[in-house]
Amino acid sequence: MAKVGILMGSDSDWPKIQEVVSPLDEFGVEYEIQVMSAHRTPELVRDYAKNAGSRGIQVIIAAAGGAAHLAGFCASHTTLPVIGIPVATDFCGGLDSLLSTVQMPGDVPVAAVGTGSGGARNAGILAVQILALADPVLQEKLTLFKSHLIEKVKNRNLRLQESLYR
């Protein structure tokens, strides 16, 4: 059963955000992916957000560009945590999307990640961290993941040092 719902305003967003699923796959977290628009299909988005929890969804990730209302619209209709991925656009390189995602009014929180593939990947990792609060197995996997990051950076530094001082 899916624990993470991934929404995007358009299927053209997928190539820009597909890294969102990498951490979910790495940690074995089930997810579903849907295309729906806060502007073009508001009833569909409202129903999705309102009913997600009863279907087993525990975190919603919403990606949209430009006005980027999808995450905020979802957050206004659910008590689940919502993570917004601001999708890069031709206009302002995604700054418009970023500002739209982080400019939520008080009492309607949306966790925002950066634009680009790093932001999408971070959205997936953040979803795993949220789920791990109630899942000791995921928490253990996250601890191992973080320790591997430390080793990865140490190894990169070692290679750099060796190449600089040969």
Both 103 and 160 in one domain: the answer is no
Both 81 and 127 in one domain: the answer is yes
pLDDT interval class at 93 (50, 70, 90) = confident
Both 159 and 100 in one domain: the answer is no
Paired tokens of 100: 């739209």
pLDDT interval class at 15 (50, 70, 90) = very high
- What does DSSP say about strands 31-35 and 4-8: parallel, antiparallel, or unpaired? parallel
Please classify residue 101 by burial: count the beta carbons closer than 10 Å to its beta carbon, then call 0-12 exposed, 13-18 middle and 19+ buried. buried
pLDDT interval class at 92 (50, 70, 90) = confident
Predicted local distance difference test score (pLDDT) of residue 66: 86
pLDDT digits (tens, 9 = 90+) for 113-131: 998 889 999 999 999 999 9
Q: Are 63 and 121 in contact (CB under 8 A)?
A: no
Q: What is the pTM of this model?
A: 0.93
Predicted local distance difference test score (pLDDT) of residue 94: 84
Both 69 and 111 in one domain: the answer is yes
Predicted local distance difference test score (pLDDT) of residue 19: 97
Both 30 and 52 in one domain: the answer is yes
Q: Which of 84, 88, 96, 83 is nearest to 117 (CA)?
A: 88
Which one has a higher pLDDT value, 115 or 43? 43
Both 120 and 148 in one domain: the answer is no
**Domain assignment of residue 152, given as a range:** 137-166
Q: What distance in Å separates the CA atoms of residue 69 and residue 67, rounded to the nearest whole number?
A: 6
CATH number of the domain at 94, please. Answer: 3.40.50.1970
Give the total number of structural domains in the chain: 2
Q: Can you tell me the mean pLDDT for 6-34?
A: 97
Sheet with 59-65, strands from edge to edge, namely: 31-35, 4-8, 59-65, 82-87, 111-112
Q: What distance in Å separates the CA atoms of residue 49 and residue 51, rounded to the nearest whole number?
A: 6
Both 125 and 148 in one domain: the answer is no
Q: Which of 119, 115, 139 is nearest to 128 (CA)?
A: 139
